[in-house]
Amino acid sequence: MKVLLASQSERRRQLLKKIVPEFIIDAPCVEEILDERTPAEQIAMMNAERKAKNVASKHAGEDYTIIAADTIVVVNDKILGKPADKNTAYEYLKILSGSWHRVITGVCLMKVNENKMIIDFDTTFVKFRNLSDEQIKTFLEKETFHDKAGAYAVQELDDAFVEKIKGSYDNVVGLPVEKLKNLLNLLENLDITEIYDIALPNIWGIGKKNEKIIFIDHAVPGDTVWFYVAKDKGSFAYGVNCGIKKYSEFRVNPECPHFGRCGGCSFQNLNYKFQIELKKKYVIETLARIGKIKLENEIPVIESPLIFNYRNKMEYAFGSHNGKIVLGLRERQNPLKRYRGSVNNIEKCLIFSDIVEKLFPVSIRYVEENSFTPYNPFTKNGLVRHLVIRRGINTAEFMVIFVTKSGINRNIEKLAESMVGVVPEIKSFWWVENDQISDVVNYQQKHLIYGNQFIEETLFDYRFRIYPETFFQPNTKAAEKLYGVIVSMAQEVQPESVLGLFCGSGPIEILLSRISHNVTGVDNNPSNIVVAKENCDINNITNCVFHCISAEQFLKNVRDRQHKYDLLVVDPPRGGLTNKAMFHLLRVKIPKIIYVSCNVSTLARDLSILMDNGYQLKKFTAIDMFPHTGHIESCCLLEMK
CB burial of residue 441 (10 Å; 0-12, 13-18, 19+): middle
CATH number of the domain enclosing 129: 3.90.950.10
Lowest mean pLDDT among 146-155, 441-450, 567-576: 146-155
- Whether the CB-CB separation of 456 and 397 falls below 8 Å is answered with yes
Q: pLDDT (tens digit, 9 = 90+) per residue, 298-337?
A: 899 999 999 999 999 999 999 999 889 999 999 988 899 8
- Predicted TM-score (pTM) of this structure: 0.92
- Whether the CB-CB separation of 179 and 117 falls below 8 Å is answered with no
Q: Which amino acid is present at 569?
A: V
Confidence of residue 560 (pLDDT cuts 50, 70, 90): low
- Which residues, in sequence order, are bridge partners of residue 27? none
CATH number of the domain enclosing 246: 2.40.50.140
Q: pLDDT (tens digit, 9 = 90+) per residue, 10-32?
A: 999 999 999 999 999 999 999 88
Quote the mean pLDDT of the chain: 94
CA angle, 473 as apex, 467 and 474 as ends, to 5°? Answer: 90
- Spatial separation of the C-alpha atoms in residues 184 and 561, rounded to whole Å: 74
CA dihedral 147, 150, 151, 153 (to 10 degrees): -80
Q: pLDDT (tens digit, 9 = 90+) per residue, 530-540?
A: 999 999 999 99
Chain length of the chain: 641
Quickly list H helices, 157-233. Answer: 169-173, 177-188
Please tell me the predicted confidence (pLDDT) of residue 159.
Answer: 80
- Which residues, in sequence order, are bridge partners of residue 226? 192
Confidence of residue 518 (pLDDT cuts 50, 70, 90): very high
Residue 260 belongs to some domain of the structure: no
Query: From residue 115, how far is each of 60, 213, 217 by CA, in Å?
Result: 10, 23, 16
Domain count, the chain: 4
Mean pLDDT of 169-192: 95
Instruction: Tell me which range, 69-78, 318-327, 477-486, is most confidently predicted by mean pLDDT.
Output: 477-486
Please tell me the predicted confidence (pLDDT) of residue 561.
Answer: 67
Percent of the chain exceeding pLDDT 90 equals: 84
DSSP state for residue 352 in the 8-state scheme: T
pLDDT at 562 over 70: no
Do 329 and 228 lie in one domain? The reply is no
Do 86 and 107 lie in one domain? The reply is yes
Mean pLDDT of 113-133: 95
- Whether the CB-CB separation of 40 and 73 falls below 8 Å is answered with no
Residue of higher predicted confidence among 202 and 292: 292
CATH number of the domain enclosing 354: 2.40.50.1070
Do 451 and 511 lie in one domain? The reply is no
Active site residues: 70
pLDDT at 131 over 70: yes
pLDDT at 156 over 90: no
Q: Which domain holds residue 439?
A: 313-459
Do 580 and 628 lie in one domain? The reply is yes
- Whether the CB-CB separation of 510 and 472 falls below 8 Å is answered with no
Do 542 and 412 lie in one domain? The reply is no
Do 525 and 609 lie in one domain? The reply is yes
Do 47 and 135 lie in one domain? The reply is yes
- Spatial separation of the C-alpha atoms in residues 145 and 151, rounded to whole Å: 5
Closest by Cα among 350, 372, 363 to 429: 363
Do 147 and 13 lie in one domain? The reply is yes
Do 387 and 532 lie in one domain? The reply is no
Q: pLDDT (tens digit, 9 = 90+) per residue, 214-226?
A: 999 999 999 999 9
pLDDT at 465 over 90: yes
Confidence of residue 69 (pLDDT cuts 50, 70, 90): very high
Helix (H, G, I), strand (E, B) or coil at 218: coil
Q: Read out DSSP for 91-134?
A: HHHHHHTTSEEEEEEEEEEEEGGGTEEEEEEEEEEEEEPPPPHH
